[in-house]
Amino acid sequence: MLKVLIVDDDSVARTSIKNLLDWNSHGYTICGEAKNGREALELVKAQAPDIVITDISMPIMGGIEFIECLEEEYPQIKKIVLSGFDNYEYIRKSMKNNATDYILKHIVDEKTMLEVLEEISKDLIKDEMLEKQIIESRTVLKQRFFNQLVSGTLNELDEIKEKIEALNIPLDTKDLIIVLFELDDFLMLQEKFTAKETEKLIASVEDICDEVLKSFEKSAACHLDGGKFLIMMSFRNTRSELFIYSMIASIVYRIKVSIKRYLNVTACFSYSTVFNDITETAKN
């Protein structure tokens, strides 16, 4: 269900909105109420609503200031403005801050509200699909980047730096180690699982790697192909090789234990020595 937050200093108006329609039967739930914009912002942090229905004229923080804050800090939240004022300036400022609609309180009814909510629901579905496409595209580009590094087809430092920045990969280009591992009997797993289940397994392994690497700032993990995974770590300004290899051994152990415990799969691991420059990846 989509979560809706109601913001109005008038308790009667808030009750009227709640009683306007059967929210649950239409796929919505009222997640909270607030008397002003400042109180509403606290609820936004706590409840993460999908939709906010707000009045304009309120004490402490009014509706215009409130939706300005939403647009700046939570642009994904859809905004419906309800007001008793048929005022062009209010309408202009609301639309400037991406309010989906500006509805006069004295004419709002169930049909009008449902039409606006349906429009918002469609927009949210589009936003979700777009976000999913962006994530999938970034995943594919990241996979291609690391495959090119490993194969040696990408070895120009400037181009590598550009792609690291564009893909937001947290890596330095100096003093690196590669960890490679392969899921055991991956071909048998592919025969046993559907394509969707195999994708889910690969994503779960990547999630485990990301979780283990959280405490290590300069690192990245990626599925290369066919159940083979790469982890790359930057140890810039770390002089102790004993520390470096102890860290690698700990990371490998935690990943090995986690994929066995949570996914019931095993893997073979290997890792390189420390090499100076990312352009040397294919040699290691």
CATH of domain 2-108: 3.40.50.2300
Q: Which parts of the chain fold into alpha helices (H)?
A: 11-18, 37-47, 63-73, 88-96, 110-151, 157-166, 186-192, 195-212, 241-263
What H or E segment, with its residue span, contains residue 134? helix 110-151
Per-residue confidence (pLDDT) for residue 87, from 0 to 100: 57
Per-residue confidence (pLDDT) for residue 215, from 0 to 100: 85
Fold equal for 2-108 and 131-283: no
Tokens standing for residue 27: 């796929």
Radius of gyration for the alpha carbons in the chain, expressed in angstroms and rounded: 26
Close Cβ partners of 192 (under 8 Å, ≥ 6 residues apart)? none
Q: pLDDT tens, position by position, for the chain (284 residues)?
A: 889 999 999 999 899 999 989 999 999 999 999 999 999 999 999 999 999 999 888 899 988 899 889 988 998 899 988 876 655 455 555 555 556 666 777 778 888 888 888 888 888 887 777 777 767 778 888 999 999 999 999 999 999 999 999 889 999 999 999 999 999 999 999 999 999 899 999 999 999 999 999 988 899 999 999 999 999 999 887 778 888 899 999 999 999 999 999 999 999 999 999 999 999 998 87
Which homologous superfamily does the CATH classification assign to the domain defined by 131-283? Answer: Reverse transcriptase/Diguanylate cyclase domain (3.30.70.270)
Give 233-250 as a DSSP string. Answer: EE-TT---HHHHHHHHHH
Domain ranges of the chain: 2-108, 131-283
User: pTM of the predicted model, to two decimals?
Assistant: 0.59
Per-residue confidence (pLDDT) for residue 88, from 0 to 100: 46
Give the span between the Cα atoms of 195 and 251, in whole angstroms. Answer: 29
